[in-house]
Amino acid sequence: MKSEFSLLLLLSIIVFGAITVTNAGGGAPGGGGLRPNFYRFTRCPQAEMLVKALTISKVRSDPTLAPKLLRVHYHDCFVKGCDASILLDTVGTNQSEKDARPNQTLGGFEAIDDIKAQVEKACPGIVSCADILALAARDAVSFPFGRNLWEVPTGRRDSRVSLISDVNGNLPSPFSDFPTLQQLFAKKNLNVNDLVALSGAHTIGVAHCGAFSRRLFNFTGKGDMDPSLDATYAETLKQQCPNPANPATTVGMDPQSSRSFDTHYFTILNQKKGLFQSDAALLTNADSAAIVNRLQFPRNFFFEFGRSMVNMGNIEVLTGTAGEIRKNCRVINPIA
């Protein structure tokens, strides 16, 4: 009860105590791209503090939310950029990105809906869903550390289009080999360092058995196991995910450390315990393998992960007068 009162007090201070800067609409003076503290120059200077307070409240109640929001942000940015297109629901026969197979196991949408609703109450029509998603992903992961692990430049606007057909060929798969991963990242102006650092997000969260069961039971179509996977670990996975894979069963992506955002993922990679083929693929390239070794050190990982998250968050963003500021993250605004 005390913590709930403290949160309400904090939200009241944020919403009603901030100094309002007058500037019509949601844009910043001079228009243009992303910048730190973009909303300081709008009619919602408290936007980022408000998103953080709401996100922290939700993560306190549900620690599994951090990897969910991180994954939604990642899936959004790799398909037509960080424009909140992943948040749009299907309308009629026009299937949205959400309906694509890789996106059907995503979660955390309700949390974004609630954060957006609260932000709209405080600042109608100012803060984009794309920025809320980017900020919430950062704030959810950073919460246990008591500080921001990376900066989120803001000023994104929301797409009015979300098509299932745009997902294919853009979103890296857990079955990808290294050349495929490198090519997909390069298409987004991300390099090998970004690829390895962002793969470190697999240190938290869970995966459905279907994303890796082929490695256990039928790797080459002959009923064999992937030889790049540690045999003892594979047997443990087989106990958790018997064949055929149950779509409802999940396994921690980072053995013994799937709730802690740390460098353990890079340690287990060198032990041949990366859960996905795409994880094991990082060791098949000399440059990538060297980065894996370097990122086993926390100082290196946190710095590189933060830098790569900023790089990812810049992919094909809509700014200025492009797109719109959705009132509801699930639907586009009606045309006036």
Amino acid at position 111, single letter: A
279 marked among binding-site residues: no
With beta carbons less than 8 A apart as the criterion, state whether 336 and 124 touch.
no
202 marked among binding-site residues: yes
In sequence order, the β-bridge partners of residue 158 are: 324
Q: Which residues are catalytic?
A: 75
203 marked among binding-site residues: yes
Distance CA 65, CA 43 (A): 29
172 marked among binding-site residues: yes
Q: Which two tokens stand for residue 264?
A: 């353990």
CB atoms under 10 Å from CB of 64, counted, come to 14
**Nearest Cα to Cα of residue 111 among 75, 135, 144, 145:** 135
Own/partner pairs for 36-41, CB < 8 Å, 24+ apart? Answer: 36/151, 36/153, 36/154, 37/154, 38/131, 38/153, 38/154, 38/155, 39/126, 39/127, 39/131, 39/154
Q: Mapping DSSP to helix (H, G, I), strand (E, B) and coil, where does residue 125 land? A: coil
62 marked among binding-site residues: no
85 marked among binding-site residues: yes
Exposed/middle/buried for 138, CB within 10 Å: 0-12, 13-18, 19+? buried
Distance CA 183, CA 7 (A): 45
Q: Mapping DSSP to helix (H, G, I), strand (E, B) and coil, where does residue 92 land? A: coil
310 marked among binding-site residues: no
Q: How far from chain centre, in Å, is Cα 296?
A: 21
316 marked among binding-site residues: no
Q: Mapping DSSP to helix (H, G, I), strand (E, B) and coil, where does residue 3 land? A: helix
With beta carbons less than 8 A apart as the criterion, state whether 306 and 195 touch.
no
72 marked among binding-site residues: no
89 marked among binding-site residues: no
H or E element in which residue 206 lies: strand 206-208
205 marked among binding-site residues: no
Q: Tell me the binding residues.
A: 76, 79, 81, 83, 85, 97, 172, 202-203, 254, 262
Q: Tell me the binding residues for substrate.
A: 172
Q: Tell me the binding residues for heme b.
A: 202
